[in-house]
Chain A
Amino acid sequence: MIEILSNAALATVQDLGRSGSLRFGVGTAGMMDNLALAAGNLMLGNEAGAAGIEIPVFPFRLRFDVDCAFALTGADCAARLDDVPLLPWWSHQAHAGQLLELGLPQGVQRASRAVLCLAGGVDVPQVLGSRSTQLRGAFGGHEGRALRRGDVLRAEAPGRACRTGFGLVPPAIALPLALDGGTVIRVLPAAEYLAFTPESRAAFWQRGWKITPQSDRYGFRLEGEALRPIAPMEMRSHGIVPGVIQVPHSGQPIIQMRDAQPSGGYPKFGTVIEADLWRLGQAPIGSRIRFVEVGWDEALAAQNEVEAWLRKVERMIDLHGSASGGRA
């Protein structure tokens, strides 16, 4: 068991998301950095989709009440287990009574959300096939809400013998994508793209966009040169998914994120490709991002590249585990 010691504003239990329920009006939720969750789980020998804890606000403290292997991925938060500094993107063994503390995100490419995985995954009930917290509906995850001080969570398999003490090259470095030092996000033009002026379309790709403080798991509100439609558009509500870039009347775009509701009525300018949602999910508030236009084939190739990286990670972890013959 682990006990949360911080007033952990906005930390939630998440897995890879609740797919297949959009038709009931239930959004997907799920880890903002799904790649960090999958990789952290693989390090512990878990299913890639086992539930972990997304931590977006620091410092964050918890105590292990039993021996338990864990992995920390996502943002490098200068974590410490008792007084021992921990490496990022690393698997560790905690002993009963030890304190885990996460500080402010740091590092060469500063990310914004830490991901904590536990041996076997975080043990919360499945609701509609997922362990993700659905904040809007107040179900799933731990009691359908963000974690708070005093909450006690269980790992599925705290006692499982688990090889720890190794790490991964973070995907921000293994799968780099940057332009002039800033984060680059690949986007498919969406249904109403051509209904915007040619100047706005050109500016969207050429100018940087700032992620404003009005950004969270529901959506990222961007600030930049306003996008202007050729003629005003009034649309009925229609289905939307995480990654859709909507343009409200202000002309300042909103990117729907994991807690997006499943429908909306604003014109859709583009869609962030699935392969880059983890990258966007880690972009800190106040940072600037650039968009690059891609087509369907490039979007699929990018997704294949992410999946190939995960398979390589899984294979190398297997080799490492068997080559060491359980010595550790």
Chain B
Amino acid sequence: MKTPQEIRQIAAWMSAAGLGALELRTPDERILLGKGGEPVAPRATPDVARRPPPGPHASAAGTTTVRAPSLGIFLRGHPGRATALAEPGMRVSKGQPVALLQIGPLLLPVPAPADGRLLAPRAAEGDAVGYGEPLFDFQQQ
């Protein structure tokens, strides 16, 4: 849940960017901000998001999923390096970056959710992915 200070900050950014309306969706809330006659106000609807939050999620097969911790452009490797951060089948340790998300000039890590083995990628290099989208299958160990 966003705090009133955060809502005010977002409203200030909207105003600075000249945006008339903004919708923000996360796994547990949906916020609509608009400019006009009505005062800018948050409207939280906790039941909207059906997407599970990021992190490992057990499935029937015993594998889990690495999900996007943020929105961004999915990158398997660092743009300054020729190789991927991790290949399917590789053993990785909890917290180790297995891919990156690019937002403009920023690069954010996609950390391994646990010690285990990285399985098949679920997104392609250069895909724009949203918060919580599956990026890899993952075998926890």
Interface residues on A, range: 20 to 34
Q: Once the chains bind, are B78 and A87 in contact (CB under 8 Å)? A: yes
B102 at the interface (CB under 8 A from A): yes
Q: Once the chains bind, are B105 and A174 in contact (CB under 8 Å)? A: yes
Docked CA distance A309–B105 (Å): 8
The prevalent SS among residues of B at the interface is mixed
Docked CA distance A107–B105 (Å): 19
A170 at the interface (CB under 8 A from B): yes
Which residues between 105 and 141 of chain B lie within 8 Å of chain A, taking CB atoms? 105-109
Q: Once the chains bind, are A107 and B106 in contact (CB under 8 Å)? A: no
B53 at the interface (CB under 8 A from A): no
Q: Once the chains bind, are A166 and B107 in contact (CB under 8 Å)? A: yes
Contacts of A317 in B (CB 8 A): 106
Of B78, B100, B105, the most chain A CB neighbours within 10 A belong to: B105
Interface residues on B, range: 10 to 19
B9 at the interface (CB under 8 A from A): yes
B82 at the interface (CB under 8 A from A): yes
Contacts of A170 in B (CB 8 A): 79-80
B103 at the interface (CB under 8 A from A): yes
Contacts of A95 in B (CB 8 A): none
Q: Once the chains bind, are B6 and A107 in contact (CB under 8 Å)? A: no
B43 at the interface (CB under 8 A from A): no
Docked CA distance A62–B102 (Å): 30
Contacts of A66 in B (CB 8 A): none
Docked CA distance A174–B78 (Å): 13
Q: Once the chains bind, are A169 and B9 in contact (CB under 8 Å)? A: no
Q: Once the chains bind, are A108 and B81 in contact (CB under 8 Å)? A: yes
Pick from A88, A320, A322: contact of B78, CB below 8 A. A88
Pick from B80, B104, B106, B109: contact of A109, CB below 8 A. B80
Which residues between 263 and 307 of chain A lie within 8 Å of chain B, taking CB atoms? none
A165 at the interface (CB under 8 A from B): yes
Q: Once the chains bind, are B105 and A313 in contact (CB under 8 Å)? A: yes
Q: Once the chains bind, are B107 and A107 in contact (CB under 8 Å)? A: no
B55 at the interface (CB under 8 A from A): no
Contacts of A106 in B (CB 8 A): 81
A168 at the interface (CB under 8 A from B): yes
Nearest A-chain residue to B9, judged by Cβ: A322
Q: Once the chains bind, are A165 and B80 in contact (CB under 8 Å)? A: no
A173 at the interface (CB under 8 A from B): yes
Q: Once the chains bind, are B80 and A166 in contact (CB under 8 Å)? A: no
Q: Once the chains bind, are B106 and A88 in contact (CB under 8 Å)? A: no
Contacts of A109 in B (CB 8 A): 80
Which residues between 1 and 30 of chain B lie within 8 Å of chain A, taking CB atoms? 3, 6, 9, 13
Which residues between 75 and 111 of chain B lie within 8 Å of chain A, taking CB atoms? 78-82, 97, 100, 102-109
Q: Once the chains bind, are A166 and B106 in contact (CB under 8 Å)? A: yes
Contacts of A4 in B (CB 8 A): none
Given known contacts A87-B97, A322-B9, A325-B6, is B107 in contact with A168 (CB within 8 Å)?
yes
> A107-B82, A173-B80 provided; 5 other pairs, C-beta below 8 A?
A166-B109, A167-B78, A167-B100, A169-B106, A325-B3
Q: Which 5 A-B pairs have the closest CB atoms?
A: A167-B107, A107-B80, A316-B106, A313-B105, A170-B80
What are 30 residue pairs bridging A and B, where the CB atoms are less than 8 Å apart in the complex?
A87-B97, A87-B107, A87-B109, A88-B80, A88-B81, A89-B80, A106-B81, A107-B81, A107-B82, A108-B79, A108-B81, A108-B82, A109-B80, A165-B109, A166-B106, A166-B108, A167-B107, A168-B106, A169-B79, A169-B102, A169-B106, A172-B80, A316-B104, A316-B105, A316-B106, A317-B106, A319-B13, A320-B106, A322-B6, A325-B3
